[in-house]
C-alpha cells in the first residue's frame, strides 16, 4: 500500500452551499491545514496558486459550474496611483500604520463589530464573538502582522506609531514574494477618507519599500459589485488556467 509522505498536505472538499456573491450559484471549496514548521512555505506556494488563508486553513473555490472567482495580485513595483487615489493618499496623510504582532485587542474588536454591523450585518461573519475574533487574529502558523492605523502624533517620526482613535486595521501575511491582505476593516463613519482604498495603497507602498513584487487582494468576483474595487489597482495579474496573466 502506498503511504502518503509525512509532511505532504491533505486536501478536503466542502459540501455545496449558497454563494455569498452571486445569487443562484452554489460554492464549494477545497482546503488544507496550515500547521507546523512548513506552514510558511506551504502558504506561499498555495497563495501563488490561488488559495487564501483563514486562520490555519488555506482554501480556494472548487465550484462545479462557475469560475467567477479570480485571484488578483497587484504589481506593486509598477503601480501608479490614479488622480483619485492621489487625493485619497493626501486626505489620509495624517494617518500612520503601525505593524504589530498578531495579537487581538478589545479596541480592535470594538471597531471590527462596528464595521460588521454597518457593512456586513447579514454576512457570514456577522455573529462573530470576541473569542472568534481572537482566533481569526491569533490562529496563524505563518508570518502575520496586525497593522493599526491612527493619526500621526508629535513623536511619530521617532516612534513610528500613531496616537488616538483606532481608525482602521489590516491583518496581513508577509510572504516571500509579497504581502497578502487577509482581512481589513475600518470606521465606517469616516467614509470621506476611503479607508479601504487607503489601506491597499499603503500596502503597495510597504511592498515597494521591502522590494516585494506583489500585493495579494484575494478574489475578484466578476459580476459582484462589492468586489469591483479590486480591479482598480493596475497593473495587476489575474490567475487563469495557464498561470498569472497581466491586466493593465
Q: Which one has a higher pLDDT value, 157 or 34?
A: 34
The pLDDT score that the predictor gives to residue 123 is: 65
Q: What whole-number percentage of the chain has pLDDT above 90? A: 82
- What is the rounded distance in angstroms from the CA atom of residue 108 to the CA atom of residue 99? 14
In this prediction, residues 179-186 reach a mean pLDDT of 97
Which pLDDT score is estimated for 1? 39
Q: Which three cell numbers stand for residue 162?
A: 500613531
Alpha-carbon distance 3 to 9, whole Å?
13
Residue 155: what pLDDT? 85
Average pLDDT over residues 225-243: 94
Phi, psi of 173 (to 5 degrees): -95, 135
* CA gap 243, 231 in Å, rounded: 18
- Intervals of CATH 3.40.630.30 along the chain: 73-247
**Domain 73-247 -> CATH class:** alpha beta
Is residue 171 predicted with pLDDT exceeding 50? yes
CA dist., res. 228 & res. 9, Å (int):
33
Tens-place pLDDT, residues 50-106: 999 999 999 999 998 899 999 999 999 999 999 999 999 999 999 999 999 999 999
Grid coordinates representing 209 are 519599500
Give the Cα-Cα-Cα angle 222, 71, 172 (nearest 5 degrees).
Answer: 120
What mean pLDDT, rounded, does the chain reach? Answer: 93
pTM here? Answer: 0.92
**Amino acid 84: pLDDT:** 98
User: Residue 144: what are its φ and ψ, rounded to 5°?
Assistant: -125, 140
Amino acid at each position: 500500500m502506498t503511504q502518503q509522505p509525512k509532511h505532504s498536505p491533505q486536501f478536503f472538499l466542502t459540501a455545496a452551499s449558497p454563494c455569498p456573491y452571486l445569487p443562484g450559484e452554489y460554492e464549494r471549496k477545497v482546503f488544507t491545514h496550515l500547521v507546523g514548521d512548513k506552514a510558511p512555505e506551504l502558504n506561499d506556494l498555495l497563495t501563488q496558486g490561488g488559495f487564501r488563508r483563514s486562520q490555519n486553513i488555506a482554501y480556494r473555490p472548487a465550484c462545479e459550474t462557475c469560475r467567477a472567482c479570480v485571484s488578483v495580485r497587484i504589481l506593486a513595483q509598477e503601480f501608479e496611483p490614479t488622480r483619485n487615489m492621489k487625493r485619497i493618499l493626501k486626505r489620509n496623510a495624517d494617518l500612520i500604520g503601525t505593524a504589530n504582532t498578531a495579537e487581538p485587542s478589545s479596541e480592535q474588536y470594538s471597531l471590527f463589530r462596528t464595521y460588521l454591523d454597518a457593512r456586513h450585518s447579514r454576512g457570514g461573519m456577522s455573529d462573530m464573538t470576541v473569542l472568534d475574533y481572537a482566533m481569526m487574529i491569533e490562529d496563524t502558523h505563518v508570518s502575520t502582522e496586525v497593522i493599526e492605523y491612527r493619526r500621526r502624533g508629535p513623536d511619530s517620526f521617532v516612534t513610528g506609531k500613531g496616537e488616538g482613535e483606532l481608525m482602521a486595521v489590516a491583518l496581513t501575511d508577509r510572504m516571500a514574494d509579497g504581502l497578502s491582505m487577509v482581512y481589513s476593516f475600518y470606521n465606517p463613519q469616516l467614509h470621506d477618507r476611503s479607508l479601504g482604498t487607503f489601506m491597499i495603497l499603503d500596502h503597495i507602498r510597504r511592498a515597494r519599500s521591502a522590494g516585494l513584487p506583489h500585493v495579494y487582494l484575494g478574489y475578484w468576483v466578476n459580476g459582484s459589485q462589492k468586489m469591483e474595487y479590486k480591479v482598480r489597482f493596475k497593473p495587476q495579474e489575474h490567475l487563469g488556467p495557464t498561470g498569472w496573466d497581466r491586466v493593465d
